[in-house]
């Protein structure tokens, strides 16, 4: 069953473009090493905070990728531009 990891964080407005570039590099690296990352979306909310969703084909694929996250220096590089980080996982039960 598909799962989603939802990240919420704040980014200095001057660093948003750099975050987008670093995030793209991270996504490419994770996809190359771990199959199953089906889709990502970065959303800027009206209050200026961000919601970053990563949809995985299965919980096992997501867990394997995040268990190996220390192997990806791109993760530390991207997340160094964020603050107030919160991450939650959820199972997709209906999608239309």
CA 14 to chain centre: 20
C-beta of residue 1 within 8 angstroms of C-beta of residue 57:
no
Q: What is the pTM of this model?
A: 0.90
User: Is there a domain that residue 96 lies in?
Assistant: no
User: Is there a domain that residue 60 lies in?
Assistant: yes
- Total domain count, the chain: 1
User: Is there a domain that residue 85 lies in?
Assistant: yes
Q: 23 is in which domain, residue-wise?
A: 3-91
User: Which residues are within 8 A (CB) of 89 and not within 5 positions of it... i.e. 6 or more apart?
Assistant: 3, 4, 5, 6, 59, 62
- List residues bridging with 39 in a β-sheet: 55
pLDDT in tens, the chain (96 residues): 899 999 999 999 999 999 999 999 999 999 999 989 999 999 999 999 999 999 999 999 999 999 999 999 999 999 999 999 999 999 998 888
Q: Tokens 């394997």 — which residue? A: 64
C-beta of residue 44 within 8 angstroms of C-beta of residue 50:
yes
CATH number, domain of 16, equals 3.30.70.100
Tokens of 40: 């990502």
User: Is there a domain that residue 37 lies in?
Assistant: yes
């Amino acid at each position: 069953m598909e799962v989603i990891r939802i990240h919420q964080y704040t980014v200095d407005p001057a660093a948003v473009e750099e975050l987008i570039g670093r995030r793209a590099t991270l996504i490419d690296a994770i996809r190359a090493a771990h199959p199953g990352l089906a889709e990502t979306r970065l959303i800027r909310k009206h209050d200026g905070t961000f919601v970053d969703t990563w949809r995985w084909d299965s919980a096992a694929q997501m867990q394997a990728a995040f268990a190996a996250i220390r192997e990806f220096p791109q993760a530390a590089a991207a997340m160094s531009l964020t603050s107030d980080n919160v991450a939650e996982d959820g199972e997709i039960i209906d999608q239309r």
